[in-house]
Structure formats: structure tokens, C-alpha cells
Structure 1
Amino acid sequence: MNRTELKSKAKDQLKGRWGLAIITILVSNLIINTANIVRPLDFVITISENLYLTLNLISLIFGGVISVGLSKFLLNFTTNREEPQFTDLFSQFKIFFKALGLHILIGIAILFTTLLLIVPGIIVALMYSQAFYILAEDPSKGIIECLQESSNLMYGYKWEFFVLELSFIGWWLLAGLSLGIGSLWVNPYQKVTETNFYLKLKYNI
């Protein structure tokens, strides 16, 4: 798997469409990672534990369905099967409970393996990293089926995906130096590259 090729392809796909990618991925992150985004603000403003718990609950309840919606958007964005739209983010509520179940199972699997050792937790996260794409492509598939297919796809490719993720560290450091503003561009760049990784794995395109 050629990392340079995947990243170059992502840059080409983002040309002229940065705005759509930035706003869609930003909104998805605000929903999926609400509590993690707000928590650092506790140093500036007082955030009650009740509010923090509420935000965690929002992330838990809606994290799955928004993750599938984001995967749908990214697949449309990279393949042009359909015109990618911001509303793709909210297009998967018809499989809300299936997406929720997938989200919870992945979270539990990562949590328990991380409690044993950090490395097994990372391995599990990599193993199930493609599950939301799989469900977005075929909503009729079951939760276990998505997990198993992701595991099969990632067999022999977990290290390559891990290194691909590490290759964005420099960009994230630069984003940090810009007080986080640069993350508006780094995040779409990384997400589109990850989607190209999935397409390469599954379809060799």
C-alpha cells in the first residue's frame, strides 16, 4: 500500500471541494467527540460534571449513526457514486440502532483490550477501523458481519494503516502551533486518505 499515492489522491479529490469537506467533518467531530472537545475548556470556563456527562451521552447515542453517515459522505466524496452532500451525515438514521450497536461494541472491545495493555487496544482499534465504511456501503449487513469483514480486510494491513496514521503527526503538530485552526484542513486530508485506504483494500482502486 503506497502511502504517498493515497495521500496524493486525497489532495486531488479535495481540490475545489475543501469547504464541503471541512464543514461536514467539523460537524461530525462536534457530535462524535463533543465531550473530548469541550473538556479542555474546563481550564477557561467551569464545566459541570452533569454537563460533561450529558455531552458524553450525546456522543454515545449519536456517535454510531453519525460515524456511518460520515463514512457515507466520504465514500461519495472519493468515488462520486453519488454527489457528496452535507446531509449525508444525517442520512443513516434508518439504521440508528444497528449503528449504535456497532459503535458500542467497538468501544467496549477497545476499552477492555486497552485495560489489559495499550498495544492490544490499538490492534483492536485497527482491526475494526473499516466497520463503519462496510455498514455505510451495505446497511443490510449485521453488526457482527461488519466487524468480521473489517477484521478480514485488515488482516496483514494493520501495521500499514498504523504507519499511515502516524504519517499525519507532523501535520497535527503544525495544526497545534496554529492554535488548532490548521486542524480544519488536516482532518479532512486524513479522513479522505483513510477512505482511499479502505477503497484500496476492498476494491484495489
Structure 2
Amino acid sequence: MDFKKIKLEAKEKINGHLWDVWKPIIVIAVLSSIISLIIETVLGPGTTTTVNENAKTFSEMLSSIKTTYNYPSMISSRLFSLLLVPASVGSVLYMLNFVRGKEYSLDNLKVYYPKIGIIIALNIVMSVLIGLGYIALLIPGIILTFAYSMTFYIFADHPDLSLMDYLRKSREMMKGYKFNYFAFSLSFIGWILLCFLIIPIIWVVPYIETSMTIYYDELKKSQEVE
């Protein structure tokens, strides 16, 4: 995969269109914040940390730190966050349309809600498989993360497949490209570090999102030719 070509195309795509890429990101972030706020208002925060302010030494202060877990709040937050997964998949469709020069709008975010069942199931299965990989050893977890990294791109392109088909197709697509995609992702580390300065994030996030989407498209095209 030609990293320079992909990144150059991404820069050209977002030129004058930063807001277009930011729109779905902001909408999903706002919805997520609203859900979290409602849950915390009703059930309280997921975690509460207390410390003994009368501690005389730093070590005493550290030993006095206690974290209380509000499991109903934590579980509710996780369950309700699943409701946004179809919107996240819709944002993938939005970005695919954007890089392909097709019509895109925030309506893309609600396109897949009729398929919320398989999307949530797919999300859970992927999380379990990747989680088990990390529990076994770090390396298997990383490998599985990249093996299933194209799952929702494939879903956006082919919304009528079975759950196992999406997982299989992503594995097949990433066969021989997992390290390549890892290297591509790692190539943005400098830009990500710049985001700590706040202002660069306005450009960096759309740049990375667009680059990742173009990577999928280029990989798909190369395999269709083969």
C-alpha cells in the first residue's frame, strides 16, 4: 500500500471540507455525552474516588485513596452506549461516501438502525474475541484487533451479510496486511502527539479519519484486481 499516495489524497479530500468530516464525529460525541449525563443524574457516577484530606504524608494520602464502583451505573452506561453503535457504523458509510465523491449527509448515521440487532451482536462478538486475545497474551490481542479492523467498513458496503461473514471477510481482507495497517496507523503518531496542543486536532482528526477510509478503499480495490 502506498502510504504517501493515501495521505496525499486524504489531504486533498479534506481541503475545504474539515467541517464535513467533523459533523458525524460531533453528533455521536454529543449523543454519547447526553446518555452519560442522564445515567449519572439518575444512577450516579460510575466510580467515586475519595482521599483522606487529613493525611500527614504523601504515602498516607496514597494509601487512603478509595474507589467505589457503582455497578448499576457502569452497566447501564455500557448497555446504552451500544445504542450508538449503528450510528458509528453509519458514520463509516458517511466517510466512504465522502472519499468516493458520493452524496453524504448526517442521515447516513441512522441508515443502519433497522439492523441494530446484528450490529450490536457483531460488536459484542468482536469485543469478546479481541478481549480473549488480550487476556491470552498481548500479541494475539493486537493481531485480532487488526484482523477485524475492516469489519464495519465491510458492513457499510454490504449490509446484508451474516455475522460470521463479516468477521471472515475482514480476516481474509487483512491477511498479509495486518502489519502493513499497523505501520500505517503508527505513521500518524506524530500528528496525534500534536493534538495535545489542541488547535492541530481540528485538522488532524479529519486527516486520520479520511486516510483510514481511503486505506480500506485502496485495499479493497487491490484485492478486487487480484
| Interval of TM-score (by shorter of Structure 1 and Structure 2) | 0.7 to 0.9
Specify which of 184, 192, 205 is matched with residue 210 of structure 2: 192
1:161, distance to aligned residue in structure 2 (A): 0.5
Q: CA RMSD in A?
A: 2.7
Specify which of 182, 188, 194 is matched with residue 162 of structure 1: 182
Where does structure 1 lack aligned partners over 5 or more consecutive residues?
Answer: none
Paired letter, 2:86: V
SS at match of 2:160: coil
Paired letter, 1:65: P
1:29, distance to aligned residue in structure 2 (A): 4.8
| 2:80 pairs with 1:62 | no
1:54, distance to aligned residue in structure 2 (A): 3.0
Q: Which stretch of the first structure deviates more once superposed, 157-166 or 19-28?
A: 19-28
Conserved in 2, the CA contact under 8 Å of 1:26 and 1:184? no
| 2:39 pairs with 1:21 | no
> Aligned residue for 1:183?
201
* Distance verdict in 2 for CA 1:7–1:188, change over 3 Å: same
Q: TM-score, normalised by structure 1?
A: 0.84
Alignment of 1:34-113 (within 5 A): 49=70, 50-59=72-81, 61-81=82-102, 83-113=103-133
Where does structure 2 lack aligned partners over 5 or more consecutive residues?
Answer: 50-67
Q: Once superposed, which parts of structure 1, at least 4 consecutive aligned residues long, lie more than 6 Å away?
A: 32-35
Matched positions, count: 195
Q: Which stretch of the first structure deviates more once superposed, 150-159 or 183-192?
A: 183-192
1:68, distance to aligned residue in structure 2 (A): 1.6
Q: Which stretch of the first structure deviates more once superposed, 64-73 or 117-126?
A: 64-73
